[in-house]
């Protein structure tokens, strides 16, 4: 039998202790031991990272297995195959013979093959009178049979690790989504807190991950993201509890507008984002007029401003159902529009709307397109959108067509300004830190 004695390599190749150990191991195969060669090969493909072999070495091994006449690797069937390098080259789809020899050496080095060299180094077989193999010289597959159980265990470990990494990535994706949307919701609702700082921390964690992270790095990132999400949730829960104590259950769905006439703060009210989320008493779009200095819409049907404020003191309907944002946030996301304000500055919403008219003309947006946007979105939101279009001018071919498209989407309740502002905040972040 080919595993009954130790053989040394032909020619200049020297004998190593590893070769001897592999031959001793191959000699310990149980007489009744067998394994399906293709099932074992699939396990080898899974376990290749732990075995130190590559795809091309596996292609050569696949060719060798194809020369084995039986599907079951067993000692009683003989375990030596003896194809020439030319035949191997053909079955590896034209791989160069020199490359074939290199990968055969790699398989021997990995302990998956044994060389059984003839006296002259050629691969051939001697048969008896009945045509049965008497003695063969070539490559022994005995190490594969001897290590079959080990290879299957390695393959199972690789698959378990892959599944673990896949689940880690899924959980990281969920954490990223939760953090980004919670911060965006907090910014839209103008909940007090350093949300920009938290978002910077979030982006630093994501961008600090290498292109090909290890399992340990993914586990660490998941722990850090989970802690950050917990911190954000705790802040929001504290706000929710304090809101309930004040008896204002509607706070979580809309922004509270400061109605103090003596206040000098420039806060913009928020609006429902879902289509049709207009108060029942507002039967017509544009039925509620903005505050002085924030637009020119009228109050039809004899409705009075005091009556509307008593019904919904914290929400103003601009007709499009869009949430509005603080002026400071808009200017931080769209700094280019500052140059078009009166005297090169924008101090209030009236200045922003005046600058938007100039930008509208400069970008070639027709008066009708801008007027329609103002009617649908509200004058302040329309000015905000014009500031965003100016900021992204290099990426928009037709500003007028783009604005009309946003107007149509706004009419259907399919457009929100928040994601656009958040993206511009990230793009305009200071060097080394992305904000948004």
- Residue 180, exposed/middle/buried by CB under 10 A (0-12, 13-18, 19+)? middle
Identify the band that residue 78 occupies on the pLDDT scale cut at 50, 70 and 90: confident
- 120-165 pLDDT, tens digit each: 667 767 776 766 666 778 888 888 888 888 999 999 999 999 999 9
Closest CA to 376 of 413, 411, 349, 401: 411
Question: Which pTM was predicted?
Answer: 0.48
Contacts of 21 (CB under 8 A, 6+ apart): none
Q: Print burial letters for 192-205: b (CB count within 10 Å at least 16), e (below 16).
A: ebebbebbbebbeb
Q: What angle do CA 132, 135, 141 make, to 5 degrees?
A: 100
130: which 2 tokens? 């009945």
385-399 average pLDDT score: 87
What pLDDT score was predicted for residue 225?
93
Tell me: pLDDT of 287 over 50: no
Q: What's phi and psi for 26, nearest 5 deg?
A: -65, -25
What pLDDT score was predicted for residue 319?
43
Q: What's phi and psi for 202, nearest 5 deg?
A: -60, -50
Mean pLDDT of the chain: 76
365-386 average pLDDT score: 91
291: which 2 tokens? 């505050």
């Amino acid at each position: 039998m080919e595993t009954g004695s130790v053989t040394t390599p032909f020619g200049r190749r020297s004998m190593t202790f590893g070769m001897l150990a592999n031959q001793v191991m191959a000699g310990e195969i149980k007489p009744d031991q067998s394994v399906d060669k293709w099932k074992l090969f699939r396990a080898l493909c899974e376990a290749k990272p732990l075995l130190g072999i590559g795809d091309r070495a596996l292609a050569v091994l696949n060719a060798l297995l194809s020369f084995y006449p039986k599907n079951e690797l067993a000692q009683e069937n003989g375990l030596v195959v003896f194809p020439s390098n030319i035949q191997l080259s053909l079955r590896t789809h034209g791989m160069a013979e020199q490359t074939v020899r290199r990968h055969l050496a790699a398989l021997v080095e990995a302990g998956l093959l044994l060389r059984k060299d003839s006296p002259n180094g050629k691969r051939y077989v001697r048969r008896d009178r009945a045509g049965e193999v008497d003695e063969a010289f070539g490559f022994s597959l005995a190490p594969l049979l001897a290590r079959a159980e080990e290879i299957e265990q390695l393959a199972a470990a690789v698959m378990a690790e892959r599944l673990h990494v896949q689940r880690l990535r899924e959980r990281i994706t969920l954490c990223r989504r939760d953090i980004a949307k919670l911060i965006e919701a907090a910014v839209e609702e103008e909940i007090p807190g350093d949300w920009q700082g938290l978002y910077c921390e979030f982006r630093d964690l994501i961008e600090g991950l290498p292109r090909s992270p290890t399992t340990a790095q993914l586990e660490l990132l998941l722990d850090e993201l989970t802690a950050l999400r917990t911190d954000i949730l705790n802040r929001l829960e504290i706000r929710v509890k304090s809101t309930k104590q004040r008896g204002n259950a509607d706070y979580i769905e809309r922004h509270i507008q400061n109605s103090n006439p003596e206040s000098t703060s420039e806060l913009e009210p928020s609006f429902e984002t879902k289509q049709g989320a207009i108060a029942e008493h507002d039967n017509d779009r544009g039925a509620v007029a903005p505050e002085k200095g924030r637009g020119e819409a009228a109050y039809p049907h004899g409705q009075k401003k005091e009556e509307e404020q008593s019904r919904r003191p914290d929400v103003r309907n601009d007709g499009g159902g869009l949430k509005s944002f603080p002026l400071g946030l808009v200017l931080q996301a769209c700094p280019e529009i500052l140059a078009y304000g009166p005297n090169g500055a924008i101090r209030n919403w009236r200045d922003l709307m005046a600058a938007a008219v100039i930008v509208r003309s400069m970008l070639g947006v027709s008066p009708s397109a801008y007027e329609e946007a103002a009617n649908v979105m509200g004058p302040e939101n329309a000015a905000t959108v014009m500031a965003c279009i100016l900021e992204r001018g290099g990426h928009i071919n037709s500003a007028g067509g783009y604005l009309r498209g946003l107007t149509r989407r706004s009419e259907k309740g399919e457009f929100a300004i928040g994601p656009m502002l958040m993206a511009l905040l990230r793009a305009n972040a200071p060097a080394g830190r992305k904000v948004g």
